[in-house]
Amino acid sequence: MGQRVSICWDKPLSPEILGTTYSSSVDCIKVIGDKLICGCYDGDLDVWCLKTNKFFRKIKTEHEPVSCIEGVGNTIVTGGGMVSNICQWDLNTGFTSGRFVGHLQNVRSMKLVGDLLVSASNDHTVKTWCFPSKTCLYTLEGHEGDVTSVDFDGKLIVSGSADLTVRLWDHETRTCLRIITGHVDTVTTVSFFKDNQLITGSTDGTLRLWNLLDGDCKNTFHMGFAAYVWSTCTTGDYVICGCDENIKVWDVSKGVLVNTLMGHQDHVWGLQVVDDHFISCSEDCTVRLWKQLKLGGKKKKKGKKYQPEEDFSDDDDESDSDDSWRAESSSLKMNDASNDTEKESKDGSRSNKERIVQRNKDSNVDDECYSEEFLKF
């Protein structure tokens, strides 16, 4: 095999460009073309140009917080807050260019494939829209709780809910093909995986791998004591998940916990793989750009085979890891995360995510990250 090659940013983002105007949690991120769009708890969209590493535009939305972002080209859509409509925005002008009207409560998750937009809402439904015309094509009903996450591959739709179930839907027949059960708390994230498989995460502290053909659970990965899965993204055989303030990397095909990445100091709400790195956003008001190393070359100590009964609570951060997959990060710091007064006032008003779980945040997290560069303001 070839020598390992580091794939990373040529240079860090400039702190002079970022400024000090951000003051809230970053609840979602989306890379569309060469733009990184950050959705914040205060309703702002902060748009960055990845080619130049420069701030591009700020958009004030109707959603507070912004829970999800989708789009193509210079057209994006947002959902969240207490607004039931999906709002469309023009990145060039920063103005709204229309609305998708139909949901009765706020939208928690969206997936755009071609001209079809699929949305999941707290009104217990999943809707499929014609993206260009903003018209609702059909509504999927059956969940008995908030629908928190959705994924779409062009033929199948998968949705996860606070009713503890995952539902698989057929786009053409508009019917529910299968109800998947096994999680014992809210399903927070669903994602299609390779080889007719499905990845789900939950506030029950587990990441699960399912066979789509028969609905059987193939493996269950425990995050450790009092850890909740808030976000996931996939690349190859790997699943990256945000569990509270840490990011864990799993080789799902081998059942191996490859690495635990530290640096964030609060819940990791969003993750996205972009080429050979990935981006994370957090309640700690930062967005981090993680450098990923290609596999191959000299191998070091192999990851430990995952055992369901094993408790990772004492050794999560010291787990045996395959050093052929390491990560480093630089950080877009959205505000001074030590502003306790501002965070306390915000915590009292959180709705969707804090309704899922109320957790004591008194534990201190060691602010350690692999060769991390914080941007100073």
Question: What are the pLDDT digits (tens) for 72-95?
Answer: 999 999 999 888 999 999 999 999
Number of domains in the chain: 1
Whether residue 64 is contained in a domain is answered as no
Whether residue 357 is contained in a domain is answered as: no
Task: Please report, for the domain that includes residue 336, its CATH number.
Answer: 2.130.10.10
- Cα separation, 280 vs 271, in Å, equals 5
CA distance 345 to 338: 13
Look at residue 296 and tell me if it is in a domain.
yes
**Of 142, 133, 203, whose CA–CA distance to 170 is shortest?**
142
Q: How many CB atoms lie within 10 A of CB 54?
A: 12
Does residue 191 fall inside a structural domain?
Answer: yes
Q: How far apart are CA 45 and CA 270, in angstroms?
A: 14
In a domain, 122, yes or no: yes
pLDDT at 49: 87
- pTM confidence score: 0.77
Report yes or no on 61 lying in a domain. no
Q: Is the pLDDT of residue 138 over 50?
A: yes
Residue 44 lies in a domain: no
Per-residue b or e along 243-253, where b marks 16 or more CB atoms closer than 10 Å to that residue's CB: bbbbbbbbbbe
Summarize pLDDT for 247-289 with one digit per residue, the tens.
998 999 899 898 888 888 899 999 998 877 788 898 988 888 8
Q: Is residue 109 part of a domain?
A: yes
Instruction: Give the domain range for residue 339.
Output: 69-74+82-347
Q: What percent of the chain has pLDDT over 90?
A: 51
